[in-house]
Amino acid sequence: MDAQAWDARYAASELVWSRGPNHFVAEELADLPPGTAVDLAAGEGRNAIWLASLGWDAVAVDFSQTGLDKGRRLAEGVDLPGSLTWVCADATTWQPGSPVDLVVVAYLQLPADERRLAVRGAATMLRPGGTLLIVAHDTTNLTEGTGGPQDPAVLMSADDVLADLAGLDVEVVRAGRVAREVTVASGHHEHPGDERRTAWDCLVRVVRR
């Protein structure tokens, strides 16, 4: 999907993603000391808003201005000890003005060549000691899970992401497949009586040396 298509998708509903942070993002990063962060392909900015609420100075980057505008409205009225900056740009090419402590890439589903650009670009944003966390719909979700993109070309495994990072000086903290429980009727939001199924994501966490 291009930026125009995502603009239309974000404009068509109140929230495409959940209001709170992604479960794995919160689980992996809650204990990190706040610093500077980039939420790459931020969409409506749920992870960036959560980081700013913990005291991070976060930059939300997405090529959909409509998604970013929704995120900015979501952030109004939220107590944010940290700062939030909204940048409309291409996640495969954008770079911050100076190295950051954390980059989050959640569900940026791209064909392999573009994904590699985004993943390597994200890693090079980090200062030494900085953390990169990538969460995405896993390749196996197509046959073993539920929901998510149905195009295998934009799905990935942890091994794919690690291959994208080959040659960069990073330490692998965690890399593998993780289960995410979803409800069939809503996809993202839980309602009583909804059927619960398992979606499969890949999760890669590395630290730049």
pLDDT tens-digit profile of 135-189? 999 999 999 999 999 999 999 999 999 999 999 999 999 999 999 998 876 555 5
3-class DSSP state of 121: helix
Pick the CATH number of 3-208 from 3.30.160.150, 3.30.420.40, 3.20.20.140, 3.40.50.150: 3.40.50.150
Structural domain spans, the chain:
3-208
Distance in angstroms (rounded) separating the CA atoms of residues 125 and 112:
20
At residue 154, the pLDDT reads 97
Distance in angstroms (rounded) separating the CA atoms of residues 89 and 3:
10
Task: Give 193: exposed, middle or buried? Use CB within 10 Å, 0-12, 13-18, 19+.
Answer: exposed
Alpha helices, DSSP H, located in the chain: 3-11, 23-29, 46-53, 65-75, 112-124, 141-144, 158-164
pTM of the model as a whole: 0.89
Average pLDDT, the chain: 91
* pLDDT digits 0-9 by tens, 64-118: 999 999 999 999 988 999 999 999 999 999 999 999 999 999 999 999 999 999 9
Cβ atoms 139, 127 nearer than 8 A: no
